[in-house]
Structure 1
């Protein structure tokens, strides 16, 4: 009697990476919050960019959903990880020890990517899993593991945060002539909207550049 040959186990379909995800936007405030529910980050003066990594495929979406991967190819290529990820962050140029939007625009106008830096501050998707319902701190923890675990180096940087009193970081940002800070609730999910879970506090209370380019 012929042996019965078992059928191979069904192969699980690979997760399809979502397309562009409308970003979460911060609400402008005049002073930072304080207390345990909040963390605080430096507000970078650059272009909001959502990196999509899917094997060897890279995309780099602007805040309005335009794929600028050719303009940011150096950054997209430097985010060298296996598998899939969608990362939220900011592309900047450092000039005179601070991020400078005018210098960034000038470099992009020349097609010069040598000074471009990417500060990654959120992780929305990882290897088939949608992370947007996870808390802010949990997402940042996974992002740090992703960057450190794959030994990513310049031009990729993890956006560090300060816990506790936001006023302390805000005053430091003011002294250094930075644009401001962003305060984030540690327990909040990621929502494609302008939310109260993210506060932006500017050291100068005016918008210097078009709002559709900002965090």
Structure 2
């Protein structure tokens, strides 16, 4: 009688990277929150861009879901990591020591990527795992580990945050003529909607550029 050969275990299929994820949006407020439930980041004056990394494949989605990877190829290529990730962030140009949307538009119009910088502020997917149900602070922790662990350098930057009282970040942002700050609840998941878990507080209380480009 022939000996039965045991079949090898089935190979676990690789997780399929999801397509474009509608971004989480901040609710406009007039005053920053304070206390332990909140962290606060500088509000960057640029284009919201969602980077998709899947092995050697790169995509760079705008807030409205358009893949602009050719316009942002230098940034997409600089996010050199193995495996999969979906990263939320902002593409900016720094002019006279602050982010400048007009300069960014001019550079993109010329097809010039030399000054483009990417501030990464959230991580939605990592190596087959959907992270959106995790807390804001946990996602940021994994994002920092991803950037530091892979020794990513300019034009990729991790978006640092301030904990506690948002006014302590808002006041210097106002003095330096930054656009404002974004305050985020540390315990909140990521939702594809305009939410109360993210507050945007502008140093000048008006919209200077089209809202559909912003955080």
Give the TM-score category using the shorter length.
over 0.9
Q: CA deviation at 1:5?
A: 2.3
Q: How many residues align?
A: 215
| Equivalent position SS for 1:143 | helix
1:105-130, CA deviations, whole angstroms, 9 ceiling, x for partnerless residues? 00000000000000000000001110
The 2-side partners of 1:142 and 1:165 are apart by 24
Do residues 205 (structure 1) and 190 (structure 2) align? no
> For residues 17 and 104 of structure 1, what CA distance do their matches in structure 2 show?
29
- For structure 1, the 5+ residue unaligned runs are none
In 1, distance between residues paired with 2:79 and 2:214? 22
Distance 2:144 2:103 in 1: 28
Runs of 4+ in 1 over 4 A off after TM superposition: none
**1:75 CA drift (Å):** 0.3
1:76-126 deviation line (CA, Å, top 9, x unaligned): 000000000000000000000000000000000000000000000000000
Q: Deviation at 1:4?
A: 3.1
Distance 1:108 1:97 in 2: 19
Q: Distance in 1 between matches of 2:196 and 2:100?
A: 27
* Distance of 2:169 and 2:175 partners within structure 1: 10
User: Unaligned 5+ residue runs, structure 2?
Assistant: none
DSSP-derived class of the 2:208 partner? coil
TM-score if structure 1 supplies the norm length? 0.99
Aligned-pair Cα RMSD in Å = 0.7
The superposition leaves residues 143-192 of structure 1 with CA deviations (integer Å, 9 ceiling, x where unpaired) of: 00000000000000000000011001000100111000000000000000
Equivalent-residue separation in structure 2 for 1:213 and 1:136 (angstroms) = 22
Query: C-alpha displacement at 1:2, in angstroms?
Result: 4.4
Distance in 1 of aligned mates of 2:99 and 2:184: 21
Distance 2:157 2:8 in 1: 43
